Structure 1
Amino acid sequence: MSGWTTTLRPGLPLTFDGEQFTVAEIEGRRVLLQQVGVLGEPKWRQVDTAMLLSHPTTRILLDTPEPETAVATVLGTLSEDEDDALTVKYRHVQEVLTGYRLGCAELALEGEPRPAYASGVPMMRRYAAKANELGVGESTVRRWAALAESGPAGLVKERPTTDVLDRADPRWLDAAREAVARYVKASRPVRDLLLLEIEERLAEKQRDADKNGEDAEKVPSPARTTAYAILRALDRGTNAFTGSTKGKRSIANRPQGAYGRLRATRPGEYVILDTNTLDVFAMEPVTCRWVQCELTIAMDLYDRCITGLRLTPVSTKAVDVAGVLFETVRPHSPVRSGSAEALPYCGIPANVVVDPRKLVDAAVNGLPLLPSVAAETIVFDHGKIYLSNHIRSVCEKFNISLQPARPYTPTDKPIERWFRTLREGLLAALPGYKGPDVHSRGEKVEEEAFFFIDELEAIIREWIVLVYHRRHHRGLVIPEFPKLKLSPLEMLEHGINRAGPLTIPIRPDTVYEFLEEAYVTIQHYGVQHDTLIYNGDALNDFRNKPSSVRGPEAGKWPIAIDSGDVTQVYFQDPQDKRWHSLKWEHAAAMDGPVSREAAGYARRLATKTHRFPDTRRALVELLDRWGAGLTAGAAERRMAVRLSQQRLRLLGQGQATDDAAALPTARRVAALYADTVQSPRVVEGSIEPDPALTGAEDLGGDDDEDEECDAPFPGDDQVSLAEEEDFYADAWESR
């Protein structure tokens, strides 16, 4: 009997179910156990043999041999030729021990047993005969016979290790691992410099040890080639020296042990929220600018169905994430979402899993990312806690808890893989696709065709509904039928049939509590928020009346606002607690929802440029330009009227009576003309008289004579002008 087995007998010590026993009696399949070390009367326990040996707590308290490498592992390292040679060697050993190569008389080959190995031949003579037959020493045959007690695997030679890490000093390896770990979040290091850094750090430790009087042995450094091989071994699976540095950081964040997984047992049990930047450019419809888009989605973990999404330009805001969860609780109709059909409804989620790094929006000074939908207590990195009574009340009403995923643990967020599916399945085929990184980006991507943001969201929704929800998903498995291929919609139907009905709100209007809140006054024309006026019949009983609200918003009425559609707001009647929709006064002229950002940009543009004239504002500006503003007094207005008369004149005051001949230039020209007035032609240095300076009789008219019409046009002949210096000599003279 080998050291790996023993006999189930009375007196055998063992532990079972956390207590120590001794086998007292064996009767058939039943074993009677006596507890050891109990004062007073002994305690007994009877168990079935199969139950005793199959129980995970059962341990036999005997000396056991040291653990060995598994037989399958030892034999699996052999090549086909080596395996054939091992079979032949083992048959030789069996012939020495039994006289038969196959180990028994029933399987005897022709001519077996041979005389040298027949029954009755001493073992030493058998060893000698086999040694002479194979040309090896007798001690080798005896060693084979001893190793064969473990079967053919015992005859396999122990191969020396080929791990390059075993060829270096363990202290040098520890220093190398520390040096590589320091560059996880840094740029990729150069191998030569890293090896130099390792040597310097080890030398520094040696100097510190000598200074403190410690007897420390110098750490030997491996050869240059070996050191490079060790760095290649450390790089394997870490991206330390190859691959992308982003992948290096992601690999470093992986759990070091077995990967855990959040498992859902029914639809709606866990809903995962996440936001990611899309690898495609889009056009913002209001500003007509190229923008990057961020997509926020909610995914049901059980069936991988997308239950809500929102595409936002540049960055995601808190209200966008709240809107996604709002759609999860209250699905949008296909008309509003712009898709062929609505996203599947998985019920009110019991838990919402989010990335705690995204619970704080750095763009808004650290405000909670989920102001209307969050857990009672949200713990962010290093103990940042956000608690809101509004959040707690809404979530308690719907029995929703928020569960943050572990920070920097990619395996806790399987939704990350969905964004890759979206990129490879849809975005890569769209114009404006820029690739996942700068190395994959094409040239002049912005010059391609493009989609507006709302069009891109409609395309993504349609792809989800028509493609993603209907195709095979490898992550969906029914344990009873592991080979069955399932789509997210089929898994949703299976979960409903298996786990029962979904959780839905009793009153659909209670979901309005997820929306952000604002306080306004109710006037005779309705309510005004962000310069937009809303009205409805629900305000009839509250117009021009203060509310019972106290505090900073005393006297004002609360309304709920969906930032994705500002064409309507929601008002809760304080008497019957029902919600009512208040329409924007110009909503009838719109064919779809208008976001708050679009309306805000339109207002800023109008305020900045006055693109569309406002008659009242134009009147104010007109009067201000003419000095008679609406705030001026009577005397100021009379003065403005008198000043305006000067503005209306084509010539300034007093200039109408001035004689043109009084101008200095005109006097000089007249003097030149006086010397040559008798001659119709001028000599060198003179000019033709200006008709404006002559009498009316010099001017031509419609009743010209024939000889006047045939006369040459003044200026046709070359006429010399006055010298330039003389002409501008009096330019600086004042009158």
Structure 2
Amino acid sequence: MNEWTTSLRTGLPIAYDGEQFTVAEIEGRRILLRQTGVVGAPKLRQVDISALLAHPSTEILVAAPAEEAAPAAVLCGLTDDEDDELTQKVRHVQEVLTGYRLGDAVLALDGEPREDYAPGTPMLHRYAAKAAELKVGESTIRRWITAFRTAGPAGLVHDRPARSVVERADARWVEMARSVLDKRVKSSRPVRNLILAEIAERLVKEYGKGTVPLPGRTTGYELLKQLAKGTNAFEGSTKGKRSIANAPQGTYGRLRATRPGEYVVLDTTPLDVFAMEPVTCRWVRCELTVAMDLYSRCIVGLRLTPVSTKSVDVAGVLFETVRPREGPEAGPLPYCGVPSTVVLDAEKLVDRDGQPLLPSVAAETIVFDHGKIYMSKHIQSVCAKFRISLQPARPMTPTDKPVERWFRTISQGLLAALPGYKGSDVYSRGESVEDEAYFFIDELEMIIREWITLVYHQRHHRGLCVPEVPGLKLSPLEMFEHGVTRAGPLRIPARPHLALEFLEEVRTTIQHYGVEVEGLRYNGDGLNDYRNQPSPYRGVEAGKWPITVDPGDITKVYFQDPKSRKWHVLDWEHGPAVNGPVSREALVYARKLAKRTHRFPDTQRALIELLDRWGVGLTRDGTERRMALRLSQQRLRLVGEDDAPADEDVTAALPSLRRLAEAGGPGAPTAEEVACPALHVIDDVAVPPGGDDDESDEIDAAFPGDDIKVVPDEEDYYADVWETR
């Protein structure tokens, strides 16, 4: 027994399970512990000695030497030459102690034991003989023997650690250097020479001139290199520098899911490829918002938007996780059920103006978390109904959002192969990549969905594993199936229409023709029992009925019967004439175009409106431009090919030609002639070479058609008298 061990005896003080005890009795494997340091009768506990020593809270309360480096940590860092040197030194020490280089007579080598180290030889003689043999002092041999008896071979290792350049420098200089570098995290890449000068000036200001020794230029550069190692302070991208600074300083944790649908991670990012805007065929930037199931890494919802993401887009992704949409030919996205928790980025889910996006589908909002996410009371109520928790990720903490790595996967796996790929940063961007934009926004979203279904969900994912079967390769779909088999059935809405509660609600009256929402009339059989009746709902808008509206498709709204609680679809009266869905933005944009039309525009006004209509307006601000880009596809659907007016109809609709056709009379053109005027070839011989060919009697003759008196309508005649020509 030495200082590193103690005997298990009665009276030995022990800390166990958060309390202090002393050993009262020892009987075989059982130990009786008596509680100490309490008022009143002490508590007794009987434990097994194995359970006592295996418990993580057990501590023997006796004096012990200071902790030292473990022998394995000392020995594993030796080079081959240093290990051979240590082996020889150990053999010399064992020969002094036992007379045999390998430490035992059974392992004796040829000629052992030698005369100077034979058994019975005094130790002082052995010290002197070994010192003479190795040509070192006897004190060195004594020190080797003491170290070997204390720590074995590890005690013979030269343990003087090599001091780094940072340890050799003045601690005040190092602290100031770290402070200066920390303040430059969000700045552009600094210059080392200027950083050294700034450190010197700050030290002089704080401690006085000449108080803190300054390193030389070369040493200073080496110090900065060591201090900035792994921070991208002087090399690499500044974006990476900020990301490294935001990484957790302690142990990296992980958000672990135990089943599909337990956690759904929501995030948005600018896409590394340019798309094409359908109206002007110009390039446009896009943003991709996705929802990922954390357990299986399956993508359960996505939305691609031009320029910047809006609140309706993020709400649409969340809506898709609860109620999946019909997929393309490749198949729909996996459905992981109603999520238990939605993890969102509290910093990135904002639009171009910094307004929060998730989810703002109702008017009233409250501040949530760090002041960056606005959660509506309506959406909190719906999530509570579905038992969905909304968990914001910590700001500027990429480790809280595993979907960040997926954005790199899609960029390298799909987007890099598409025309218009711009790279992940300005260093990776090619020349004039905007001109290579080829796919429309809806086509690009369809490509992304097909890639997710056919490639990403089918291939091996290195981040997926089953702890019970190490090394098993799994795809997201296989992991999804494994999770369903392991955890049981998914949580799904009891009725599909429950997901409609995520949408926006407006209040209006029910008339005999239906309901009117933002100037659009909707009707359906579900309103038959409530036409021209006030609603039973009370509040600020008492008497009005709640109508649920999807801002992404205004061709239909939804009405819930207050008696049966059944949902009814109300169709827009002009919905059948529209080829596809129409968003609310398309309606607003179309109304703006209607207000700007002129019956008799001048040339300057015509030019301005022409440029404005085709997306390069002279006076249009950035907000209108972004809205026009988002609505370009819907604007094309407003008028189908069959509804487009023919050129002759446009010509016949001109006011002057229409009035001329209606007047009739000899020589007046018919409606067909107005619509399609004929061109006649005139013989050159029949045309005089020039001059006036009217006869004298023809000058005073009446003009053909003057004999028919046409009285124009007074209201039509003066209708445009005040119009600007």
TM-score (norm 2): 0.79
Over residues 68-89 of structure 1, what are the superposed CA-to-partner deviations in whole Å (9 max), with x where a residue is unaligned?
Answer: 1222222222211111111111
Task: Look up the match of 1:575.
Answer: 563
What SS does the aligned partner of 1:467 have? helix
Task: Look up the match of 1:355.
Answer: 345
CA–CA separation in structure 1 for the residues paired with 2:541 and 2:37: 75
What SS does the aligned partner of 1:407 have? coil
CA–CA separation in structure 2 for the residues paired with 1:427 and 1:180: 36
Are 1:240 and 2:233 an aligned pair? Answer: yes
Task: Look up the match of 2:718.
Answer: none
Task: Look up the match of 2:20.
Answer: 20
* Post-superposition offset of 1:27: 2.3
CA–CA separation in structure 1 for the residues paired with 2:156 and 2:321: 65
Contact persistence 2:287–2:309 (CA under 8 A): yes
What SS does the aligned partner of 2:101 have? coil
* Post-superposition offset of 1:310: 0.8
Task: Look up the match of 2:98.
Answer: 98
CA–CA separation in structure 2 for the residues paired with 1:695 and 1:90: 140
Are 1:472 and 2:497 an aligned pair? Answer: no
Alignment of 1:115-134 (within 5 A): 115-134=115-134
Over residues 427-482 of structure 1, what are the superposed CA-to-partner deviations in whole Å (9 max), with x where a residue is unaligned?
Answer: 11111111011111111212225111111111111111111112222222222223
Alignment of 1:190-201 (within 5 A): 190-201=191-202
CA–CA separation in structure 2 for the residues paired with 1:43 and 1:511: 58
* Post-superposition offset of 1:339: 4.7
Letter aligned with residue 191 of structure 1: R
CA–CA separation in structure 1 for the residues paired with 2:593 and 2:362: 33
Task: Look up the match of 1:492.
Answer: 480
Name stretches of at least 5 consecutive residues in structure 1 with no aligned partner: 211-216, 627-640, 642-647, 649-689, 697-735
Task: Look up the match of 1:256.
Answer: 249
Over residues 290-309 of structure 1, what are the superposed CA-to-partner deviations in whole Å (9 max), with x where a residue is unaligned?
Answer: 21111111111111111111
Letter aligned with residue 75 of structure 1: L
CA–CA separation in structure 2 for the residues paired with 1:100 and 1:494: 63
Letter aligned with residue 370 of structure 1: P
Are 1:459 and 2:447 an aligned pair? Answer: yes
Over residues 352-390 of structure 1, what are the superposed CA-to-partner deviations in whole Å (9 max), with x where a residue is unaligned?
Answer: 1111224655638x4663124999976232x57846432
* Post-superposition offset of 1:287: 5.2
Q: Which residue, out of 307, 313, 332, partners 2:306?
A: 313
Contact persistence 2:364–2:376 (CA under 8 A): no
* Post-superposition offset of 1:282: 0.6
Task: Look up the match of 1:482.
Answer: 470
CA–CA separation in structure 1 for the residues paired with 2:118 and 2:366: 84
1:104 and 1:619, CA in 2 relative to 1: closer, same or farther beyond 3 A? same
1:23 and 1:543, CA in 2 relative to 1: closer, same or farther beyond 3 A? closer
CA–CA separation in structure 2 for the residues paired with 1:87 and 1:262: 48
Letter aligned with residue 171 of structure 1: R
Q: Which residue, out of 348, 370, 389, partners 1:401?
A: 389
What SS does the aligned partner of 1:402 have? strand
Contact persistence 1:24–1:33 (CA under 8 A): yes
Contact persistence 1:358–1:369 (CA under 8 A): no
* Post-superposition offset of 1:237: 0.9
1:622 and 1:198, CA in 2 relative to 1: closer, same or farther beyond 3 A? same
Q: Which residue, out of 371, 381, 388, partners 2:360?
A: 371
* Post-superposition offset of 1:495: 1.6
Task: Look up the match of 1:177.
Answer: 178
Are 1:323 and 2:316 an aligned pair? Answer: yes
* Post-superposition offset of 1:592: 3.9
1:342 and 1:694, CA in 2 relative to 1: closer, same or farther beyond 3 A? closer
Letter aligned with residue 417 of structure 1: R
Over residues 396-452 of structure 1, what are the superposed CA-to-partner deviations in whole Å (9 max), with x where a residue is unaligned?
Answer: 211112111111211111111111111111111111111011111111212225111
Are 1:189 and 2:190 an aligned pair? Answer: yes
Identical-residue share of aligned pairs (%): 65
Contact persistence 1:375–1:400 (CA under 8 A): no
Q: Which residue, out of 276, 280, 292, partners 2:285?
A: 292
Contact persistence 2:309–2:352 (CA under 8 A): no
Contact persistence 2:270–2:288 (CA under 8 A): yes
Letter aligned with residue 379 of structure 1: F
CA–CA separation in structure 2 for the residues paired with 1:495 and 1:413: 21
Task: Look up the match of 1:138.
Answer: 138
Task: Look up the match of 2:636.
Answer: none
CA–CA separation in structure 2 for the residues paired with 1:39 and 1:572: 67
CA–CA separation in structure 2 for the residues paired with 1:42 and 1:572: 68
Alignment of 1:382-397 (within 5 A): 386=374, 388-397=376-385
Alignment of 1:508-527 (within 5 A): 508-527=496-515
* Post-superposition offset of 1:526: 4.1
CA–CA separation in structure 2 for the residues paired with 1:368 and 1:136: 78
CA–CA separation in structure 1 for the residues paired with 2:693 and 2:287: 78
CA–CA separation in structure 2 for the residues paired with 1:375 and 1:99: 91
CA–CA separation in structure 1 for the residues paired with 2:519 and 2:329: 32
Deviates more, 1:448-457 or 1:570-579: 570-579
1:425 and 1:695, CA in 2 relative to 1: closer, same or farther beyond 3 A? closer
Letter aligned with residue 97 of structure 1: L
What SS does the aligned partner of 1:279 have? coil
* Post-superposition offset of 1:567: 3.0
1:285 and 1:565, CA in 2 relative to 1: closer, same or farther beyond 3 A? farther
* Post-superposition offset of 1:608: 4.0
Contact persistence 2:364–2:377 (CA under 8 A): no
Cα RMSD after superposing both structures: 3.4
1:192 and 1:31, CA in 2 relative to 1: closer, same or farther beyond 3 A? same
Task: Look up the match of 1:534.
Answer: 522
1:521 and 1:282, CA in 2 relative to 1: closer, same or farther beyond 3 A? farther
TM-score (norm 1): 0.78
Contact persistence 2:535–2:545 (CA under 8 A): yes
1:575 and 1:44, CA in 2 relative to 1: closer, same or farther beyond 3 A? closer
Task: Look up the match of 1:157.
Answer: 158
What SS does the aligned partner of 1:470 have? coil
CA–CA separation in structure 2 for the residues paired with 1:436 and 1:362: 19
Letter aligned with residue 309 of structure 1: L
1:404 and 1:510, CA in 2 relative to 1: closer, same or farther beyond 3 A? same
Larger radius of gyration: 1
What SS does the aligned partner of 2:223 have? helix
Over residues 28-87 of structure 1, what are the superposed CA-to-partner deviations in whole Å (9 max), with x where a residue is unaligned?
Answer: 222222333456655432211111111111111222121112222222222111111111
Alignment of 1:583-598 (within 5 A): 583-588=571-576, 592-598=580-586
CA–CA separation in structure 1 for the residues paired with 2:651 and 2:505: 36
Task: Look up the match of 2:266.
Answer: 273
Contact persistence 1:356–1:379 (CA under 8 A): no
Letter aligned with residue 55 of structure 2: H
Task: Look up the match of 2:214.
Answer: 221
Over residues 519-547 of structure 1, what are the superposed CA-to-partner deviations in whole Å (9 max), with x where a residue is unaligned?
Answer: 44445554444554433332334445554
Over residues 648-701 of structure 1, what are the superposed CA-to-partner deviations in whole Å (9 max), with x where a residue is unaligned?
Answer: 9xxxxxxxxxxxxxxxxxxxxxxxxxxxxxxxxxxxxxxxxx9669998xxxxx
1:421 and 1:356, CA in 2 relative to 1: closer, same or farther beyond 3 A? same
CA–CA separation in structure 1 for the residues paired with 2:253 and 2:367: 22
CA–CA separation in structure 2 for the residues paired with 1:343 and 1:373: 27
Alignment of 1:74-85 (within 5 A): 74-85=74-85
1:18 and 1:450, CA in 2 relative to 1: closer, same or farther beyond 3 A? same
* Post-superposition offset of 1:206: 2.8
CA–CA separation in structure 1 for the residues paired with 2:18 and 2:280: 72
1:373 and 1:506, CA in 2 relative to 1: closer, same or farther beyond 3 A? farther
* Post-superposition offset of 1:203: 0.9
* Post-superposition offset of 1:241: 1.0
CA–CA separation in structure 2 for the residues paired with 1:231 and 1:506: 62
Alignment of 1:658-697 (within 5 A): none
CA–CA separation in structure 1 for the residues paired with 2:66 and 2:695: 137
CA–CA separation in structure 2 for the residues paired with 1:450 and 1:102: 78
What SS does the aligned partner of 2:271 have? strand
1:386 and 1:563, CA in 2 relative to 1: closer, same or farther beyond 3 A? closer
What SS does the aligned partner of 2:457 have? helix
Letter aligned with residue 131 of structure 2: A
* Post-superposition offset of 1:556: 4.2
Contact persistence 1:377–1:387 (CA under 8 A): yes
Are 1:433 and 2:424 an aligned pair? Answer: no
CA–CA separation in structure 1 for the residues paired with 2:694 and 2:421: 78
Task: Look up the match of 1:48.
Answer: 48
